[in-house]
A = this chain, B = another copy of it.
Amino acid sequence: MDLFISGGTVVTMDAEFRVIEDGGVAIEGDVITEVGKRVDLEPKSRGVKKTIDARGTLVLPGMINGHAHAAMSLFRGVAEDHSLDDWLQRYIFPAEARNVTEDFVFWGTRLGVLEMLRGGVTTYADMYYFEDVVARVTKEAGMRGVLGETILDFPAPDHRTPAAALAYTQKYIERWKGDPLITPAVAPHSIYTLSTETLKSAGALARANGVPILMHIAEAPFESERSRAQHGGSPVNYLERIGLLGGDVVGAHCVWVDAMDIATLLRRGVGTVHNPSSNMKLASGVMPVVDLLTAGVPVGLATDSAASNNNQDLFQEMNVAAKLQKVTRMDPRALPARQVVEMATIGGARALHLDKQIGSLEVGKQADVVLIGTGATHSTPMYNVYSQLVYALNAHDVLTVVIAGKIVMEVRVMMTMDKPAILAKAHEYQRKVAASLIEPPPA
């Protein structure tokens, strides 16, 4: 045994949803070798290299942020109160054109990854530019990532043409394929920013290399309307017809999907990802999470970017996701707490097609584990662990984070990242970005 997480309430998120009081997790290398009662594991822990005292904590599988643009943390709060279309075309795309360089992505991703790790996220899916830099930063931080280079039909910060982006992506995939932490991916942005031809090329590239496809799907009403007008069907219907859907696709948002679309997503094995804060803030709509889960479609949970949220806090997404389904369906029983914790862990792993490796505390799985303190005023008393996780605890209660058997944060001290340096650079970029805006941030 290399690492012994000893004591605490182990919330396994396995098929039986076992919750083990005074439990323990044994880790060898990057793998979980035992999960059980502390007293049963203790005798085998003699000579263990490191023991983490988990008493007074909830021990949870590392949380999974299924859709992010980590580097955009440098744009946190830069443009508010606009529709998705306006927000993208008038603010975000211009701000990106003026500011996004390799260096911006390097520091922005570090800021986003730092915030995610501090909030208990151990795996994230990312769609951005200079994705090779994103992969380097993520690997260096000891975090797990499914990282997709974004493909656009118009000039992006890193490439002027989709052909150049696809060529870069091929090399990027070759560099990272097989890495234990990084899963390279292809990220065709959306149907409203890409031609059918480019979508097909992106899909072909992903499939030739056996890597996932990350994409925004059916996010906003305008996307559905344009799809019907231009392609004679819903976004899901159009993507199905051009052969893009499959068991390697992760669809972020999927707000505007009907019963037929849901059947298609299920049949094709597409993973979907709910971004409640972003969908609410941009008034994109409410994903029919209950309908998707009832049908059997995997649904993960995500923050989207800090420019539309404005943070990378999966606890907040759990909280908001539960409440949003209840009020939208006018049914307080909709999406109970345990199901929400599932979306943030094993459900998110299913959505990313990584549920064989991560998402629960089970023997043989990757050792991605977070310890959450339960002693705060706002989390006292505690009657039910799932309720507490969704409705009372928050990102700041995360104490210790282990990824692939390696401690990346211990009692809130970062072991793999230089927090002061990252925050100092973020302040530098704040001045630069603010000076570059055509319209100042609203007062």
User: B-facing mask of A293-326, CB < 8 A → 1, else 0?
Assistant: 0000000000000100111110010011011101
Q: Let me know if A331 is at the binding interface, CB within 8 A.
A: yes
Of A34-42, A171-179, A273-281, the one with at least 4 CB within 8 A of chain B:
A273-281
Q: How far is the CA of A83 from the CA of B334 in the complex (A)?
A: 11
Q: Contact at A384–B313, with CB atoms within 8 Å? A: no
- B316, B322, B378: the one contacting A115 at CB < 8 Å is B378
Q: Is the CB of A281 within 8 A of B391?
A: yes
**B430 and A377 contact, CB distance less than 8 A:** no
Contacts of A329 in B (CB 8 A): 283
Q: 0/1 per residue, A367-392, Cβ < 8 Å to B?
A: 00000000101111111101110011
Q: Contacts of A438 on B, CB cut-off 8 Å?
A: none
- Indicate whether A419 reaches chain B with its CB closer than 8 angstroms: yes
Alpha-carbon gap, A17 to B443, bound state (A): 9
B387 with A77: CB separation less than 8 A = yes
> CA of A334 to CA of B82 in the docked complex: distance in angstroms?
9
A90 partner residues in chain B, CB cutoff 8 A = none
Knowing A311-B391, A394-B394, the reply to whether A332 touches B378 (Cβ < 8 A) is no
Whole-angstrom distance between the alpha carbons of A300 and B391 in the complex? Answer: 22
Whether a CB of chain B sits under 8 angstroms from the CB of A291 is: no
Alpha-carbon gap, A375 to B387, bound state (A): 30
Residues on B with beta carbons closer than 8 Å to the beta carbon of A17: 443
Contacting residues, chain B, for A365 (C-beta < 8 A): none
Q: Find out whether the CB atom of B391 lies under 8 angstroms from the CB atom of A77.
A: yes
What is the bound-complex CA distance between A329 and B332, given in angstroms?
21
Give every chain B residue within 8 A of A392 (Cβ-Cβ).
76-77, 306, 310-311
Residues of B within 8 A of A77 (CB): 381-384, 387-388, 391-392
Binding stretch for chain B, among A152-160, A353-361, A421-429:
A421-429
Instruction: Give the size range of A's interface with the partner.
Output: 35 or more
Determine whether the beta carbon of B387 is less than 8 Å from that of A441: yes
In the assembled complex, the CB of A325 is this many whole angstroms from the nearest CB of chain B, namely 9
Question: Using a CB-CB cutoff of 8 Å, which residues 326-350 of chain A contact chain B?
Answer: 326-327, 329-334, 336-338
Residues on B with C-beta less than 8 A from A221 are: 330
CB distance from A172 to the nearest CB of B (A): 27
- A411 contacts B by Cβ under 8 Å: no
Q: CB distance B283 to A331 under 8 Å?
A: yes
Q: A81 at the A/B interface (Cβ < 8 Å)?
A: yes
Q: Which residues of B contact A403 (CB under 8 A)?
A: none
Chain B's closest residue to A327 (CB) is B280
Q: Which of B279, B313, B323, B429 meets A277, CB within 8 Å?
A: B323
Q: Please tell me if the beta carbons of A391 and B320 are within 8 angstroms of each other in the complex.
A: no
Cβ of A434 within 8 Å of any chain B Cβ, yes or no, is: yes
Q: Is A114 at the interface (CB under 8 A from chain B)?
A: yes
Q: In this complex, which of A19, A329, A378 has the most chain B Cβ atoms within 10 angstroms of its Cβ?
A: A378
Closest-by-CB residue of B relative to A112 is B377
Which B-chain residue is minimally distant from A278 (CB atoms)?
A: B323
Cβ of A442 under 8 Å from chain B: yes
Contact B443 A382 (CB under 8 A): no
7 A-B pairs besides A80-B337, A281-B322 with CB distance below 8 A are: A76-B383, A77-B384, A77-B392, A285-B330, A381-B426, A383-B434, A384-B442
Q: Which 7 pairs show the lowest CB-CB distances between chains A and B? A: A381-B430, A280-B323, A310-B391, A77-B387, A280-B327, A283-B332, A383-B441
List 19 A-B pairs, Cβ < 8 Å.
A17-B443, A77-B382, A77-B392, A80-B391, A84-B332, A115-B377, A115-B378, A277-B323, A280-B323, A281-B332, A283-B327, A283-B330, A283-B332, A286-B327, A309-B391, A378-B395, A383-B434, A387-B441, A396-B396
